[in-house]
Structure 1
Amino acid sequence: MTTGVLLRRAERRDAEALSTFAARVFWETYADDTAASDLTDYIGKNFRVARQHAEIVDPCGAVFLAVKGQGGRTILGYAQLVVEAPCDAPPLLNRLYIERECRGTGLAGRLLEEVRNECRRRGAAKLRLTVFEKNTRAIAFYKQSGFAVTGFTTFRVGHDVQRDIEMETQVDAAERRHNTGPGSQNG
């Protein structure tokens, strides 16, 4: 399924396709644990085409796509890195979404490596993220990729206040674990 998949930086022209992809994958991932009205509210605010466009062109972040198909237009996954103020805080892996049929193929690991490379280009030694405490597959992937739990926070999806796990890794240490550890075909 992931043969011939190209990883590239998102471009302005990708905003509409990314909006559709992100909304669908978010819905599929969280529909069992979150009310439809809350999902609809969150998706309407966070995955609009204009919002995706703004995230793609934001110099304080980076959006990477895993694409396939004619002209590389079919999105199979994406990752979004955000550098938040204050600038001394580690960059945030804000999103890492993979097409359901591509999970377990190593695609998530490839996108995560692109994010790590961007952290290195920006001189960041650490990378952090938050993940919904019920998303056990993602938590296992992040732990296997070198992330450690650093705390907990809340995350609002519509009116639903959920508990997220905060995780962090050293960029270079995580790379060594990810590339040499058992089961590096994640995602």
Structure 2
Amino acid sequence: MSDFAARVFRATYSSDTEAADLDAYINKNFSTERQEAEIADLSAAVFLATVDDLIIGYAHVVVGLADSSSALLNRIYIDTEWRGRGLANDLLDAVLSESKQRGVTRLELTVFERNERAIAFYQRAGFAATGNTTFAVGEDLQTDLVMEMDLGERFNSSKT
């Protein structure tokens, strides 16, 4: 999973970020040890999309960072060759199902302000921008949008 995450992150952000900053971020956040710790974290859930044992996408969500009713969608990564085929929707559905089971009522994420494809996806899914935050990629301080989805409304409206 580490190699996959590093490859997708580099492919997505290399046009906006210097190579040294990308390397620093990837080395810190996508090491095998870090990925194993994320998988082992009981407050988190990791969902994989695979083809013939090859990872082509994954999602990582952490429940209860602010309080027990909220969750942070850390990432949905899809291999560039597999984008546009509905995998992100499938992974988000898995995240939403897990969130519902854990009693989450608010799902939050951050997304690079220039990642228009991801922003459009999250908006279509029902997320709304609620602010900005600074995101460090190595020494490069970038602006991310903070987006949220009220799961209480979503889960209640899906019952009708």
Into which bin does the TM-score normalised by the smaller protein fall?
Answer: over 0.9
Q: What's the counterpart of residue 28 of structure 1?
A: 11
Q: Which of 119, 124, 127 is residue 107 of structure 2 equivalent to?
A: 127
Confirm whether residue 111 of structure 1 aligns to residue 91 of structure 2.
Answer: yes
Aligned length: 158
Runs of 4+ in 1 over 6 A off after TM superposition: 175-178
- Higher strand content, 1 or 2: 2
Spell out the pairing of 1:66-145 with structure 2 (5 A cutoff).
66-69=49-52, 73-88=53-68, 90-145=70-125
Q: Which of 155, 164, 170 is residue 135 of structure 2 equivalent to?
A: 155
What CA distance in whole angstroms lies between the structure 2 residues aligned with 1:85 and 1:135? 24
Return the offset for 1:90.
1.5
Consecutive unaligned residues in structure 2, runs of 5 or more: none
Checking the alignment, whether the CA contact within 8 Å between 1:81 and 1:115 is kept in structure 2 is yes
1:134-165 alpha-carbon deviations (Å, 9 max, x no partner)? 00000000000000011110000000000000
Return the offset for 1:84.
4.3
Checking the alignment, whether the CA contact within 8 Å between 1:63 and 1:78 is kept in structure 2 is yes
Confirm whether residue 37 of structure 1 aligns to residue 36 of structure 2.
Answer: no
Cα RMSD after superposing both structures: 1.8
Judged with a 3 Å threshold, the aligned counterparts in structure 2 of structure 1 residues 145 and 176 are, in CA distance, closer, same or farther, namely farther
Consecutive unaligned residues in structure 1, runs of 5 or more: 1-17, 179-187
Checking the alignment, whether the CA contact within 8 Å between 1:147 and 1:174 is kept in structure 2 is no
- TM-score, structure 2 as length reference: 0.93
